Amino acid sequence: MANDPGALRERQCDKFNGDRYEWLRVLERYLPYLLLIVALLVLHLHMDLTTGDTADFAEQLSKRTVLEYIEFRYFEWTSRILSELVLIFIIHSPVIWTIVDIGAWVLLYWSIIRLARSFGAEREASWLALTLILCYPFATMSEAGWIPTTVSYVFPVSCGLYVLVYVLTLCFEDEESNGPSLKWYQLALLVCATLFGSNAEQVACMLWIVLSVAIFYRWRHHRPVQVLVILWILVSLECLFVVTCPGNDARSAIEEARLWPDQQHFNPPVSFSELGILGKLFVGFTAMADGYWYGYFAGYCLLPGLLALILCCSACTERKGVWIGLAVATGALMLGVPLLRMIPSVPWPWYMSRLLVQPMYDGSLTRYAVAALQAFSWASILAQVYLAVSETSRTKAVFAAVLFGVCIITRIIMGFSPTVFASGYRTNFILDMACVMFAALLLSRLPKRSPARIVCVIAICLCALYAFTHAMQNLTLWA
């Protein structure tokens, strides 16, 4: 009956349970973003915004007009015209910068989640990605001053990953569809993000390669490529702009005279021009790998080590035979070296001492042996990422390998700049965020409540606690 009290109570109970489920779903979806914003607010409230190059950029508009500044930087220093235009205006308003910077981190986090899910991540990836981001040594973004560094690195990388979300969604869609339809404002956002992001050399390299692979893939499958071609043309123009900018050559000459020979890293001293192409690639790779094993000014970044640990647990869980030994060796190197260096005054055997002390760039056997172990570790991680993703889709595995490999390449090419050491750890930022994405992806796919997953989650939480606590103790470098 319509007025049956029992039926009425049942409908009310169903409505209550439905409303409660809806609230839980909304809370689960948006709570990670809220927690990230809170953590970023805590960090921003403790930043010293007066250090590094801040004062120099703050006074530029009092010396020159905007057009004069553009001409000066283009011919004498850099091709990063778009990011520096934003910088010289936003640097006068720390409040606006704080809002935009937090927004850039949130966009970065959203893009990482979307990319992970496009590769097959489970729902828990959002929480895992949040914890992994907190493992990042945030103090590195103060190496040249908070505002200059974040505008030059966080902003472009967040734009670049936002573009990749659309590119990979287009490539992983159902074969029968023609792709997600774009409204005019979505296309405008993509164009703006592409232009601003690829104004940074590393992001331009990443986008150009991934877009080229995506266009070739869709063309081979007889699917529309118009939007991808538009984005590829924009990135190609940015790359051409970077290559032909006279300011980049002028800066390299000035920095070479100022920074080389590098007494701290080279023994005996070697001039930058004498390195040659292979020498610069070697320096670029080892400088990148050394940063993860031996640390930079802000301490250690354990994100690649955590990714190696997750790959090791994944291999052991799925019993991949020879891959287990490879994964264990990689995890032991990538996570073991920085952790063992944190243990003071231990009388290690001679071979361990050689491994745990950062070698000089002196052509010694130790330097080449350590470099060989580092190359083995990164090649192993790349191969294991491909293997892990290929279990669901070979196409996705190819794109995963390309994306992760490109992120490594973008750091290696820093060896062609005489500022390879002076630029600091922040040049690893793209690779760090790739490690966050793939670690969240692969960990979310481990069996729930399995010992392997529990071990990885505990390790990530401990690393996040270490990184955040260490950052708060020395948040602004050289203040």
Tens digit of each residue's pLDDT (9 = 90 or more) over 128-161: 999 999 999 999 999 889 999 999 999 999 999 9
Tens digit of each residue's pLDDT (9 = 90 or more) over 404-450: 999 999 999 998 888 888 787 889 999 999 999 999 999 999 988 88
Residue 2 inside a domain? The answer is no
Residue 465 inside a domain? The answer is yes
* 180: Cα separation from own chain's centroid: 26
Contacts of 238 (CB under 8 A, 6+ apart): 195, 198, 199, 204
Tens digit of each residue's pLDDT (9 = 90 or more) over 74-88: 999 889 999 999 999
Find out whether 264 and 296 touch, Cβ atoms under 8 Å.
no
Judged against a pLDDT cut of 50, whether residue 176 lies above it is answered with: no
What would the mean pLDDT of 324-341 be, rounded to a whole number? 92
Residue 288 has a pLDDT of: 93
Cis peptide bond prior to 304, omega within 30° of 0? no
The helix (run of H) or strand (run of E) holding residue 192 is: helix 184-197
- Pairwise CA distance, residues 371 & 355, whole Å: 10
Nearest to 207 by CA among 218, 185, 222, 191: 191
Residue 135 inside a domain? The answer is yes
What would the mean pLDDT of 12-27 be, rounded to a whole number? 62
Residue 17 has a pLDDT of: 54
In the chain, what percentage of residues exceed pLDDT 70?
A: 93
Token representation of residue 475: 């948040």
Residue 397 inside a domain? The answer is yes
Token representation of residue 44: 């921003």
Find out whether 443 and 453 touch, Cβ atoms under 8 Å.
yes
Residue 8 inside a domain? The answer is no
Least confident window among 294-308, 311-325, 347-361: 311-325
Q: Nearest 5°: phi and psi at 421?
A: -90, -40
- Domain carrying residue 257: 17-473
Tens digit of each residue's pLDDT (9 = 90 or more) over 58-71: 999 998 999 999 99
Least confident window among 259-268, 273-282, 307-316: 259-268
In the chain, what percentage of residues exceed pLDDT 90?
A: 63
What would the mean pLDDT of 453-458 be, rounded to a whole number? 94
Tens digit of each residue's pLDDT (9 = 90 or more) over 344-373: 878 888 889 899 998 988 888 999 999 999
Task: Give the count of alpha carbons within 13 A of 61, CB side only.
Answer: 12
Residue 309 has a pLDDT of: 95
What would the mean pLDDT of 258-265 be, rounded to a whole number? 80
Residue 418 has a pLDDT of: 86
Q: Which long-range contacts (CB under 8 A, 24 or more apart) does 326-333 make?
A: 326/380, 326/383, 326/384, 327/380, 327/384, 329/380, 330/376, 330/377, 330/380, 330/381, 330/384, 331/305, 333/308, 333/373, 333/376, 333/377
Q: Output the furthest CA–CA distance in the chain (Å, rounded).
A: 94
DSSP string over 126-172: HHHHHHHHTTS-GGGGGTT-HHHHHHHTHHHHHHHHHHHHHHHHHHH
Residue 474 has a pLDDT of: 85
- Pairwise CA distance, residues 426 & 206, whole Å: 16
DSSP string over 17-46: HHHHHHHHHHHHHHHHHHHHHHHHHHHHHT
What number of other Cβ atoms are within 10 A of residue 233's Cβ? Answer: 12
Query: Which residues are 296's β-sheet partners?
Result: 299
Nearest to 279 by CA among 348, 371, 359: 371
Residue 6 inside a domain? The answer is no
DSSP string over 336-372: HHHHHHTS-S----HHHHHHHSPPPSS--HHHHHHHH
Q: Length of the chain, please? A: 479
What separation, in Å, do the N-terminal and C-terminal C-alpha atoms of the chain show?
Answer: 75
Residue 175 has a pLDDT of: 45
Tens digit of each residue's pLDDT (9 = 90 or more) over 191-227: 999 999 999 999 999 999 999 999 999 999 888 889 9
Residue 171 has a pLDDT of: 87
Residue 392 has a pLDDT of: 86
The helix (run of H) or strand (run of E) holding residue 308 is: helix 303-318
Mean pLDDT of the chain: 89
Find out whether 310 and 442 touch, Cβ atoms under 8 Å.
yes
DSSP 466: H
- The domain total for the chain is 1
What would the mean pLDDT of 244-249 be, rounded to a whole number? 91
Residue 191 inside a domain? The answer is yes
Contacts of 1 (CB under 8 A, 6+ apart): 7
Residue 185 has a pLDDT of: 87
DSSP string over 240-284: HHHHH-HHHHHHHHHHHHHH-S-TTT-SS---GGGGHHHHHHHHH
- Pairwise CA distance, residues 102 & 40, whole Å: 7
Find out whether 372 and 339 touch, Cβ atoms under 8 Å.
no
How large is the angle between the packed helices 451-473 and 303-318, nearest 10 degrees? Answer: 180
Nearest to 403 by CA among 363, 444, 433: 433
Find out whether 134 and 457 touch, Cβ atoms under 8 Å.
no
Tens digit of each residue's pLDDT (9 = 90 or more) over 393-404: 899 999 999 999
Residue 3 inside a domain? The answer is no
Token representation of residue 310: 């997750």
pLDDT-based confidence at residue 167 (cuts at 50, 70, 90): very high
* Three-state DSSP state, 91: coil
